[in-house]
Structure 1
């Protein structure tokens, strides 16, 4: 489920649960970068944003590791923050609510929730509202794969509860707001709003938490530990030392599990129980976007990272486009290192794909499926 329900706190407070994050050069306006944060899984058509949260995008210049390595991308010290907050919903049938986005220079842009024109100013165009959840994955088949130790995808697969909605926040920003930018790391966060802020969730790449950190049974060091709430509170650009060993042990174990599903070792470690070659990359948990390259809809996700590992110069913008089938890319990298057949989950596209024009996310489903009882 990408980052849907990514830990006990997200389950307890779904309004702060980030389901997906996307970052890509605008297909409509060259020289602009699109940032998307979706929250509140299974949002009803009348859903409103929380007036008790800050919805934050954090961007930093990043540099790639040496060509030929699968190591992490290093984030620079300069940070560009876009904060969005919302008024309390009016309670009227139209769900009247106003948002305000503050740019890195301190300028503000106001917009009405569910107004598809959004608000424009100071190099930013902003939209927020209920939208069709664009994430595609056969989640039950993925969970069956983890439980059984056997690849359990079928062709075709099915999108888990197709037609569910989310609260979508979309910013289209002029890259002039990111001085001297080329490679940019992008993280989205939800935080408490007030004098004392607490990070509730943060998301960079999809499925780091639910597919790579959630399973406990393969981790012989921390088998009893639900690690995702701890991970959510971390600064994505600077992990604290306190739990690094626990994160590494969990990732090492689970990445070895995924690698072994095809019966071959495509990611050899240094000795029995050694560090998995992808662990440090996954801990550098932010989307990497080249803002100097044009929009690329399919196949750009992880392309910068995998090109670096192969010792090649990347060709695409990287990041994550809304319609890109990222789960096939993730499963293929984890299982065979991208050197074997594509590992498909049997789901290739949304039944309501995103558009190439602002606000990109598709209109909501007026009659979405009900939230499953076990959630």
Structure 2
């Protein structure tokens, strides 16, 4: 799931449905930060970006404000925005794939032109941009997650069935000289958004951390306050850097309830609630942006490492953020279920059909139509 199909509104326009967000130091040049946004889950061979959507990357400087049980980040107000927009695809004769062009507006005001599916992408001052169809980097067994939630018992098999095996997505990848283009250094908070194009752009979706809207917020049955409310479209409409107070208690109640459910799956409590009944992870997870430290090394298992170190009062060792090949479902379930105090949870899926590489544009080429799952 990660953020695939994360709410009723996202189902109406797959090209505006953000499926995943990644942020990591460039493997071969630490002066660069890589930001990636995937959209259009299970994209067909003819899938292209929407000319009616703005694909936005938002980056703000971040710092650790508190550690221990009250861990939190201080997020700066200076913001670097990268907006990617696309033209109407050109029509070609003889059934050839249409050609689509796009441009990325950088924080400096430069417009970088590129052609969709050109692996070299477009280049500007301190930025390289790729946009096109790639192999789905995310992997999970949705049926066994649903069975786990329905039965209250871990249902993962030794060898699971990857729900997204052989599928494709549309990806936008930015390789950015962070000292040149991003304000603040070297820690950043990253959020991706899709917005309806117009004089007053309207936010359709926003994604920071993986599996917030699906695994963490979608289940209604454990929530004693809003058991009948689908909250994900409300959540999508919020500014990740400035949550409104109107619905914050709604999000917090749902997150507390679902995290408490996961913590009980191993029949022991690893995350004791505070006096107000708040789960120790709720505050950090509702700060829903990827935090990446460009001064630290890339790690295959970097997601939430900064936050886990904060909770334990120690200095983080990795860049945090999120690397493309991390088994993110195992990482999240281990965090939620035993807090790292037990064996790593294994959902039975060892990897995607093809691993991403450490060479731009990083994600593997798209799978041929004959193996794309139905």
Shift of residue 11, structure 1, vs aligned partner: 1.3
What is the correspondence of 1:151-170 to structure 2 with a 5 Å cutoff? 151-170=154-173
Aligned residue for 1:200? 204
> How many Å separate the matches in 1 of 2:344 and 2:242?
33
Shift of residue 340, structure 1, vs aligned partner: 1.1
Deviations 1:211-243 (A, max 9, x none): 010000000100110000000010001100110
Deviations 1:29-61 (A, max 9, x none): 330011110000110111110000000000011
Shift of residue 91, structure 1, vs aligned partner: 2.6
What is the correspondence of 1:332-351 to structure 2 with a 5 Å cutoff? 332-351=334-353
Q: Is the aligned partner of 1:26 residue 2:23? A: no
> How many Å separate the matches in 2 of 1:107 and 1:310?
42
Shift of residue 194, structure 1, vs aligned partner: 1.4
SS of 2:72 mapped into structure 1: coil
Deviations 1:58-114 (A, max 9, x none): 001112232323533221111110000000111332321111001111111110000
Aligned residue for 1:190? 194
Aligned residue for 1:308? 310
SS of 1:21 mapped into structure 2: strand
> How many Å separate the matches in 1 of 2:282 and 2:232?
16
What is the correspondence of 1:1-375 to structure 2 with a 5 Å cutoff? 1-69=1-69, 71-92=71-92, 93-175=96-178, 176-271=180-275, 274-296=277-299, 298-367=300-369
Contact 2:220 2:227 in 1 (8 A): yes
Contact 1:45 1:365 in 2 (8 A): no
Deviations 1:95-147 (A, max 9, x none): 21111001111111110000001001111100001111100112211111111
Shift of residue 368, structure 1, vs aligned partner: 5.8
| Deviation larger for 93-102 or 77-86 | 93-102
Contact 2:166 2:372 in 1 (8 A): no
> How many Å separate the matches in 2 of 1:104 and 1:60?
12
Give 4+ residue runs of structure 1 displaced > 3 Å after superposition. Answer: 368-372
> How many Å separate the matches in 2 of 1:368 and 1:2?
25
SS of 2:283 mapped into structure 1: helix
> How many Å separate the matches in 2 of 1:284 and 1:70?
13
> How many Å separate the matches in 1 of 2:36 and 2:25?
12
SS of 1:330 mapped into structure 2: helix
Contact 2:99 2:116 in 1 (8 A): yes
Q: Tell me the TM-score normalised to structure 1 length.
A: 0.96
| Deviation larger for 341-350 or 119-128 | 341-350
Contact 1:54 1:193 in 2 (8 A): yes
Shift of residue 321, structure 1, vs aligned partner: 0.5
Shift of residue 318, structure 1, vs aligned partner: 0.6
| Deviation larger for 223-232 or 158-167 | 158-167
Q: Tell me the TM-score normalised to structure 2 length.
A: 0.96
Q: CA RMSD in A?
A: 1.4
Q: How many residues get paired?
A: 370
Deviations 1:261-291 (A, max 9, x none): 11111111135x7111111111100001001
**Structure 2 portions without partners, runs of 5+:** none
Contact 1:70 1:281 in 2 (8 A): no
> How many Å separate the matches in 1 of 2:164 and 2:270?
33
> How many Å separate the matches in 2 of 1:203 and 1:229?
12
SS of 2:81 mapped into structure 1: strand
